Amino acid sequence: MIRNPLTTLCYIEKDDSYLMLHRVSKKNDVNRGKWIGVGGHLEEGESPEECLLREAYEETGLTLTSWRYRGIVTFSQENYGTEYMFLFTADGFEGTVRECDEGILKWIPKKEIGNLNLWEGDRIFLKYLLEERPPFSMKLVYQGDELIQVMIDGRPADLEKGLLPEL
């Protein structure tokens, strides 16, 4: 079970690329082997934006100067629990990317993101980010690594009929 169920995730943008984190360093990491944005758990008394800024700096060495709230994603996975993730993109920063103790940071062109080892649900919300959709609410339910349910803005999305966007 996760500790604090409130988290942030940010996709930092530069030159039509996202800074992606390949999670390969931590043992017992639910994200091990996956490519994700940067972020982490809110600390006591932190707002999502304060967590975003702290985690981005801790994981990348970058100080964000321009960011945007994009939505909230509810993750549910058996034997893991439920996590509520505040999703952001950032298009302004100061500093230089440094090594991260959680994995390997790499700028990936947006058009190549779909080729990475991503969670299936991440493919859906990344597509929404790329389409510049207004803030949304998404619920992703996993059984192990398999995505078994998606709700978008409180409405079920039909996984069987392929109504979900492809990245």
Q: Residue 118 pLDDT > 50, yes or no?
A: yes
Residue 28 corresponds to which amino acid?
Answer: N
Phi-psi region of 79 (alpha: psi -120 to 50; beta: other; left: phi over 0): left
User: Helices (H) and strands (E) in the chain — how many of each?
Assistant: 2, 10
Q: Which residue shows structure tokens 């702290």?
A: 54
pLDDT of 160 reads: 56
Q: How sure is the predictor about 79, in pLDDT bands with cuts at 50, 70 and 90?
A: confident
Residue 166 has pLDDT above 80, yes or no: no
Q: What is the mean pLDDT of the chain?
A: 90
Q: What is the pLDDT of residue 161?
A: 52
Over range 109-126, report the average pLDDT. 94
**pLDDT at 1 (0 to 100):** 47
Domains, in order of start, for the chain: 6-157 (3.90.79.10)
Fill in the DSSP letter of residue 112: G
The predicted model scores a pTM of 0.90
162 pLDDT above the threshold of 80: no
